Amino acid sequence: MSRPARLVGAGPDAKQPLRVLHVMRAPVGGLFRHVLDLSRAQIADGHSVGVIADSLTGGARAELELARLAEDLPLGLLRIPIHRNPHWSDLGNLRRVSGRIDELKPDVVHGHGSKGGFLARAAGRLAKTVHPVLAYTPHGGAIHFARMSLEGIAYRAIERALAPCTDVYLFESQFAAERLRAFAGASRAAGRVVVNGLHESELLPVAPAPDAADFLFIGELRALKGVCTLIEAMQVLQQRLESPPRLVMVGDGALDRELSAEIARRGLSHCISLLGCKPARKAFSLGRILVVPSHAESLPYVVLEAAGARVPIISTNVGGIPEIFGPYAGGLIRPGDVGDLANAMQAAMVAGAEALADDAERLAAFVGRKFLVTNMYDQVISGYRAGRIARESREQFKPERSESASPY
């Protein structure tokens, strides 16, 4: 008989320590940052935490961060090969993750991203000795696919199949909540929006270096992030202006080589520099204005971090980005529009440093009130308990079982 999770009775404010297992695929980007921040906050508050992550991705930075985290993980770190798209190895991984759940007996299994969410929820249901609360945070993932594309149809079917296995959805943005509801339909699981958060130290300003470029891009070099639109906008500005602006691009990704060739082909090598990966707060000093030309996002950390550091931002109006800007979202631009982006960049160049700094200060004050790691942690723990209550409610509508059976 499976052991029920210990999450009920005392309500969402209960202080009982929990055993939490986080499951994710690639230890990169905002999803990885979210899991690191959440795990450390949970450990600091006395909970026992474990992590399962992909062993194929992440590189040296992930190796270092996970090694540091592993020293403090009471439930340990397990890295296994996890492919991004559906793969024959998923069946073996389901057995490995369900075996890990049986071994560790967590109260909560929290899946992050499409593949992490699949493994957490499906393996959680397959576990034989424990029935943990199953939580899911999409982090974009499946919700970015067009509804009627082949990928969209496949992932929608998967999400609908997993809905009965889900006890609580912890959405990182209101956009993600609405998109998944439209994408996969309604669910009887608990659901709440728990926005990503910053540490107090990330609310300190970062000044541009004396030789900083006019513009800065930070992120993955992939089409979804709008990098091709940004390069086209830079060419438009080169044609318009006697003294074209300089752009520094920090990051790497699938389009690394192609972008280098495209920049050279367009004659922009003298004004666009590709610098590889750097920590965000170190990168902020390399440019005076951050450009976020994304075609799709959920709630990107780079926008939060730049806002906290008082870096002026030009951004597209996609995903949860308007939620970060709040009352200042009126200046966001359309995604994929080269002309709009070039106009916004040119307007920022002539606005003057003082006006840009005033706007950045107001946005930092808004972000500093709403987007904090402490808030994120409290709401996630409360969400776990809401998930347990939602499951209890569903159980009341199931056929009667013998008294010896687990009520969970």
Answer yes or no: are the C-beta atoms of 57 and 28 closer than 8 Å: yes
The residues that bridge with 79 in the sheet, in sequence order, are: 53
Return the higher-pLDDT residue of 212 and 179. 212
Answer yes or no: are the C-beta atoms of 7 and 90 closer than 8 Å: no
C-alpha pair distances (Å), 164 with each of 118, 122, 134, 171, 190? 12, 10, 10, 17, 11
Of 294, 306, 363, 366, whose CA–CA distance to 334 is shortest? Answer: 294
Contacts of 291 (CB under 8 A, 6+ apart): 215, 216, 217, 230, 247, 313, 314, 315, 341, 345
Res 142: pLDDT: 72
Q: Which amino acid is at 273?
A: S
Q: How do residues 9-28 score in pLDDT, each as one tens digit? A: 444 446 789 999 999 999 98
Answer yes or no: are the C-beta atoms of 2 and 129 closer than 8 Å: yes
CA dist 226 and 177 (Å) reads 23
Residue with tokens 């709401």: 379
71 pLDDT more than 60: yes
Res 3: pLDDT: 54
* Mean pLDDT on 382-386: 97
Res 12: pLDDT: 43
Res 85: pLDDT: 86
When mean pLDDT is compared across 117-121, 211-215, 225-229, 390-394, the lowest value belongs to 390-394
Q: Which runs of consecutive H residues, i.e. helices, occur in 111-149?
A: 113-126
CA dist 296 and 321 (Å) reads 10
Q: pLDDT averaged over the chain?
A: 91
Confidence of residue 403 (pLDDT cuts 50, 70, 90): very low
User: 3-197+372-395 domain in CATH 3.40.30.10?
Assistant: no
* Mean pLDDT on 383-398: 84
Q: What is the CATH topology of the domain spanning 201-370?
A: Rossmann fold (3.40.50)
Of 8, 40, 4, whose CA–CA distance to 22 is shortest? Answer: 40
Answer yes or no: are the C-beta atoms of 250 and 275 closer than 8 Å: yes
Tokens of 58: 């992440």
When mean pLDDT is compared across 71-75, 278-282, 307-311, the lowest value belongs to 278-282
* Mean pLDDT on 194-201: 96
The residues that bridge with 291 in the sheet, in sequence order, are: 314
DSSP 29-95: HHHHHHHHHHHHHHHHTT-EEEEEEESSS-HHHHHHHHHHHHTT-TT-EEEE---SS--THHHHHHH
Confidence of residue 2 (pLDDT cuts 50, 70, 90): low
Residue with tokens 């959440």: 38
CA dist 224 and 148 (Å) reads 18
Q: How far is CA 88 from the centre of its chain?
A: 26
DSSP collapsed to 3 states, 319-372: CCHHHHHHHHHHHCECCCCHHHHHHHHHHHHHHCHHHHHHHHHHHHHHHHHHCE
Instruction: Say what percent of the chain tops pLDDT 90.
Output: 76
Name the segment(s) of the chain with CATH classification 3.40.50.2000: 3-197+372-395, 201-370
CA dist 266 and 231 (Å) reads 9
Res 149: pLDDT: 77
Q: How do residues 323-338 score in pLDDT, each as one tens digit? A: 999 999 999 999 999 9
Confidence of residue 5 (pLDDT cuts 50, 70, 90): low
C-alpha pair distances (Å), 75 with each of 43, 78, 151? 11, 9, 34
Phi, psi of 270 (to 5 degrees): -75, -15
Confidence of residue 404 (pLDDT cuts 50, 70, 90): very low
